[in-house]
A and B are shown apart, each in its own frame.
Chain A
Amino acid sequence: SQTIHQWPATLVQPVGSPLSLECTVEGTSNPNLYWYRQAAGRGLQLLFYSVGIGQISSEVPQNLSASRPQDRQFILSSKKLLLSDSGFYLCAWSNGLGNTEAFFGQGTRLTVV
């Protein structure tokens, strides 16, 4: 069966520090991978998605970047965090076809102080 792992679960970082959140998927090949952010009182916002190794699409201009160094690994990064980067970050995957179910990780609560 397929599983998705996301870590860390919580993170407190000072303003201006770097960020690296990691997500890996097991049990499937060539998944579509996604990073979403959930701000308090708002819906989930798609940040990045990837349909293959090295292929990254950005949905909103921001202080963050994403990379996909391996087929089932997706990384969210920042060189210098801003206070506004605080939020709940969720990684998700679906298979390469359009009409398929999406599955989410357990999320990372990021607080920038």
Chain B
Amino acid sequence: KQEVTQIPAALSVPEGENLVLNCSFTDSAIYNLQWFRQDPGKGLTSLLLIQSSQREQTSGRLNASLDKSSGRSTLYIAASQPGDSATYLCAVHYTGTASKLTFGTGTRLQVTL
């Protein structure tokens, strides 16, 4: 069964810390992996898309890595800020699934002052 798991479910860090969010998937046959941010009661905002042939992608303070062979991706947030507080979702586009994304349940991040 193709699944996506995110650990931890929740995380609280003081402002300024660097942090890593983890995502694991069960099948290495993927097209791509996408990281999203979701604020309470809102839709999803795309943060980074990593194609299956890529090892990492960077956008500002965010860096996402992909290791297909081990079925893992990490989202690294540098110098965290209170505005980074949100739920972060990882989604995998498995091959042969007609562009359907399989989502993890997310990591709820709180950055405190």
**Interface-side segment among B11-19, B42-50, B71-79:** B42-50
- Name the one of A6, A32, A103 contacting B99, with C-beta atoms under 8 angstroms: A32
> Which of A12-20, A36-44, A61-69, A70-78 lines the interface with chain B?
A36-44
**A98 interface residue, CB < 8 Å from B?**
yes
B34 partner residues in chain A, CB cutoff 8 A: 101-102
Task: Place the interface of chain A in its size category.
Answer: 20 to 34
Interface string of A70-113 (1 = CB under 8 A from B): 00000000000000000010101010001111111111010000
Q: Does B28 contact A (CB under 8 A)?
A: no
Contact among B31, B44, B101 with A99 in the assembled complex (CB-CB below 8 Å): B31
When C-beta atoms are compared, the residue in chain A nearest to B30 turns out to be A99
Interface size on B, residues (CB 8 A): 26
A109 in complex: contacting residue of B32, B41, B105, CB < 8 Å = B41
- Given A57-B98, A98-B31, A100-B32, 20 extra CB contacts under 8 A: A6-B43, A34-B100, A43-B4, A43-B106, A44-B103, A46-B101, A90-B44, A94-B99, A98-B93, A98-B99, A99-B31, A99-B32, A100-B49, A102-B34, A102-B101, A104-B43, A104-B46, A105-B43, A106-B42, A107-B41
Interface residues of A (CB under 8 A from B): 6, 32, 34, 41-44, 46, 49, 51, 57, 59, 88, 90, 92, 94, 98-107, 109
